[in-house]
Amino acid sequence: MQSQLPFYPDQASNFAPSVDSLMTFLILVSVGFSVIITAAIVIFFFKFHRKSKNEIGVPIHGDMRLEVMWIVIPAILALAMFGWGAVIYVDYRHAPQDTLDIYVIGKQWMWKIQQPNGRREINELHVPVGRDVKLVLASEDVIHDFFVPAFRVKMDAVPGHYNTMWFRPTKAGRYHFFCSQYCGTSHAVMGGWVTVMEPADYAAWLSGTTGEDVNPVVAGEKLFAEKACSTCHLSNGTGRAPSLNGVYGGTVRLADGSTVNADEAYIRESILFSNAKIVAGYQPLMPSFQGQLTEEQILSLTAYIKSLQSQPVPATGAGVIAPGKK
């Protein structure tokens, strides 16, 4: 797809054309207003130029109809801008199902990226064209921001939080990505390239995994045993802690009667701040793992817990209301 205007960057994702159309709309409205105001100023400036030294202007104090007009018309246009922008934003903030999940960790001053099969990259991101891709962003130190201009998307990577962003690449090629949140000395070099590949090329690239790359699900399963998670979180639901089978993506009922969506952020919080949300029917027994796991280990554990999706949910698994849909 060619950009509409020379000062629009490449359009390489599903969001690019819609963001550009919105941009065009705002430019048109702005140019319209600017032309009206500028023309009025220039015309008045010359037409009503002072003719004699002691001349005064015609005393006009105001006009209620005009005031109402220039409150109402801008308000309507502003509402249109708000609505159009909101539609795109809400879409952007809610990833579709069946995304290709890629884990992205920002640290001063590099991006560590891990593909679903465990293949690691640094300052490079490979994605297939036409597939919905979800990036799960974490930070090891300060706030960073993952920004791909050709996709018209960005999102902060905030320490202590998980943020997600999604996009569907639409055009194969190599595109810049940047860190867009100032993060210290080498902020400006904390970027790299997104390579959008045909699905077959991507699969071939992905299978070129080296021996050092460990599938995060496998690594997570190992950690799950090492950290003794498995002694309480029994898969059949009879342990001192709830079974984690099928938890991800469902809704969990909490001890205080409220419910929570079991997404990545919830899993992360439950690991690090284990007493923040207690599942209904269980005691607050779990120790906090804050400071004991690296961001990568947390991502591995999360990936493992997400992988338990396909296994049956035990009948006694209190708390879990509905598996599946987000």
Partner 1 sequence: MSTTPPKPPGYQLPKEHYLNATYGLRSWLLTTDHKRIALLYLASVTFFFFLGGIFATMIRIHLLTPAGYLVTPETYNKLFTMHGVAMIFFFLIPSIPAVLGNFLIPLMIGAKDVAFPKLNLLSWYIYITGGCFVLYSFATGGLDTGWTFYTPLSSVYSNSAVTPAVLGIFINGFSSILTGLNFVVTIHTMRAPGMTWFRLPLFVWAQYSTSIIFILGTPVIAITLLLAGLERMFHLGFFNPALGGDPILFQHLFWFYSHPAVYIMILPAMGVISEIIPTFARKPIFGYTFIAASSIAIAVIGFFVWAHHMFLTGESTYAALAFSLLSYLVAIPSAVKVFNWTSTLYKGSISYDTPMLYALGFIGLFLIGGLTGLFLACLGLDIHIHDTYFVVAHFHYIMVGGAIMGYIGGLHFWWPKITGKLYPEFLARLAAVILFVGFNLTFFPQFILGYLGMPRRYHNYPPEFQVLNVMSTAGASILAMGYLLPMLYLTWSMRYGKVAGPNPWPATGLEWTTASPPPTENFDVTPEVDWEPYDYKNRPDLGLGTPSVPSLSPAHGDD
- Contact positions with partner 1 (CB under 8 A) in 26-65: 26, 29-30, 33-34, 37-38, 40-41, 44-45, 48-51, 53-63
Closer of 85 and 116 to partner 1 (Cβ)? 85
Q: How far is it, in rounded angstroms, from Cα 281 to Cα 116? A: 34
Cα–chain center distance at 243: 29
The kind and range of the H/E element at 117 are none
Is 325 a binding residue for partner 1 by CB under 8 A? The answer is: no
Shortest Cβ 119–partner 1 spacing (Å): 26
Out of 1, 96, 182, 275, point to the residue binding partner 1 (CB under 8 A). 182
| Bridge pairing between strands 153-157 and 144-148 | antiparallel
First vs last Cα of the chain: how many Å apart? 32
Counting Cβ atoms within 10 Å, is residue 306 exposed (0-12), middle (13-18) or buried (19+)? buried
Closer of 43 and 322 to partner 1 (Cβ)? 43
Q: Which of residues 209-268 bind partner 1 (CB under 8 A)?
A: none
Shortest Cβ 74–partner 1 spacing (Å): 5
Residue 150: phi and psi, rounded to 5, are -65, -20
Out of 11, 114, 163, 170, point to the residue binding partner 1 (CB under 8 A). 163
Which span (174-182, 210-218, 227-235, 295-303) binds partner 1, by CB under 8 A?
Answer: 174-182
Shortest Cβ 60–partner 1 spacing (Å): 6
Cβ count within 10 A of residue 63: 9
Q: Which of residues 120-149 bind partner 1 (CB under 8 A)?
A: 141-143, 145, 147, 149
Rg over alpha carbons for the chain, rounded to the nearest Å, is: 27
Closer of 58 and 315 to partner 1 (Cβ)? 58
CA-angle at 141, arms to 308 and 217, nearest 5° = 15
Closer of 117 and 251 to partner 1 (Cβ)? 251
Q: Give the residue from 191, 187, 167 showing the smallest Cα distance to 177.
A: 191
Give the side-chain half-sphere CA count within 13 A for 257: 0
Closer of 164 and 300 to partner 1 (Cβ)? 164
Out of 78, 203, 321, 322, point to the residue binding partner 1 (CB under 8 A). 78
Is 9 a binding residue for partner 1 by CB under 8 A? The answer is: yes
Task: Note whether 135 and 157 are within 8 A (CB).
Answer: no
Is 4 a binding residue for partner 1 by CB under 8 A? The answer is: no
Stated length of the chain: 326
Shortest Cβ 319–partner 1 spacing (Å): 24
Q: Which of residues 92-111 bind partner 1 (CB under 8 A)?
A: 92-94, 108
Q: How far is it, in rounded angstroms, from Cα 245 to Cα 148? A: 35
Closer of 120 and 154 to partner 1 (Cβ)? 154
Closer of 170 and 215 to partner 1 (Cβ)? 170
Closer of 47 and 200 to partner 1 (Cβ)? 47
